[in-house]
Amino acid sequence: MSDFTTSDGTRIHYKDWGSGRPVVFSHGWPLNADAWDGQLRLVAENGFRAIAHDRRGHGRSDQPWQGNDMDTYADDLAQLIEHLGLEDVVLVGHSTGGGEVARYIGRHGTGRVAKAVLLGAVPPQMLRTDSNPEGLPVEVFDGIREGVRSDRSEFYRNLSESFYGANRPGSSVSQGERDAFWLMSMQAGLKAAYDCVAQFSETDFTQDLERFEGIPTLIAHGDDDQIVPIADSAHKAARIVGNATLKVYPNAPHGLTGAFEEAFNADLLDFIKQ
């Protein structure tokens, strides 16, 4: 595991495993690169170079007061790619990380990008607005902000339930996985975690998705996602992105676990090998 320093002096921590075509993973809120460990190992064992960073304010990266916004997240990703001299990259983003991938392409283009994967991703926009009437009301996100501000430890403990679908009949998610979610979440700085709520909920990624310019894109989503509802995310994103394959996982939650994770892993490996 290594670090690099961005142009504004923020130290970003990342993992870099294996060799071959680079596959760069962006994690969801409020987690860190460890959330991708299973997929990092999978692709590295299959002849790819697996890379994942802790977003600024999260995990082992610095926790600056400034820069907790989607444009800076995307610029940090661009600087990581440049720092490592990566070309022909497969970008993979889950949840907020999917927004980070979309904004990276929107700001920096597809010159270094071969393919993209959006898993349970927030684009095109989560918040209900006049132009996005199917979105979630602002009160949902105000509740998240209040949970983070007032008692984030208990909030994250409770959030793990809907994140992994533990509140659904037949759920097989272990307490250990839910505990790991809590542990990663608690490593995110309070300021970064709070600020990021507006970024993943209010940002309109429509123009970013339009800039994918035909690169092969896998849009994968569980149809029982209680965090990022599929109707206002994956279904819309697939219509905007020109060369997209939509993969829907029946009864799957937001977080990767159990049979859902196994199915996604197989689809991810098949997609990046093509």
Which residues are catalytically annotated? 95, 225, 254
Three-state secondary-structure class, residue 218:
strand
Three-state secondary-structure class, residue 92:
strand
Strands across the sheet containing 49-53: 2-5, 11-17, 49-53, 22-26, 89-94, 113-119, 217-222, 244-249
Give which of 1, 57, 8 is closest to 29, Cα–Cα. 57
Three-state secondary-structure class, residue 181:
helix
Contact by Cβ (8 Å): 79, 236: no
Contact by Cβ (8 Å): 5, 232: no
- C-alpha distances (whole Å) from 245 to each of 143, 229, 253 are 33, 18, 19
- What does DSSP say about strands 89-94 and 113-119: parallel, antiparallel, or unpaired? parallel
d(CA 223, CA 229): 8
Instruction: Compute φ and ψ for 225, nearest 5 degrees.
Output: -75, 115
d(CA 233, CA 125): 7
Contact by Cβ (8 Å): 13, 3: yes
